[in-house]
A = this chain, B = another copy of it.
C-alpha cells in the first residue's frame, strides 16, 4: 500500500478531495520528521512510536579483503508498533 492508495481511501471515507487529503498527509509526515529531528521521539497513539537511536562506532574485519572496516557513529529510527496491535502467529490481528 502506498501513499496514493491511502489518500484515495481516506478521501473517500471523509468525503474530502484527494488534493486536500494529500496536503494534510504531506504536512503530517513532514511534521513527524521535524519531531524526530528535534525531539528524537514521535508517538502516534494506536499506531506506534518512533525513536532515534544512537549507534556507536563499530569495527568489522572483512575476511575477503583482510582489512578492518570502520563504521562511523550513526543514528537510526526504531519503530515499535502499538501494543494493542499484536501480531498473532496465524495472522495479523488485534487482541
Contact = CB atoms under 8 A, between A and B. Distances in A.
A44 interface: yes
Contacts of A13: 27
A46 B74 contact: no
Copies of chain A in the complex? 2
A29 B1 contact: no
Given A6-B31, A24-B10, A31-B9, A75 B47 contact: no
Most buried by B among A24, A39, A88: A24
Main SS class of interface, A? mixed
A24 B74 CA distance: 34
B24 A44 contact: no
Contacts of A44: 2-3, 6, 29
Contacts of A36: 1, 92
B24 A50 contact: no
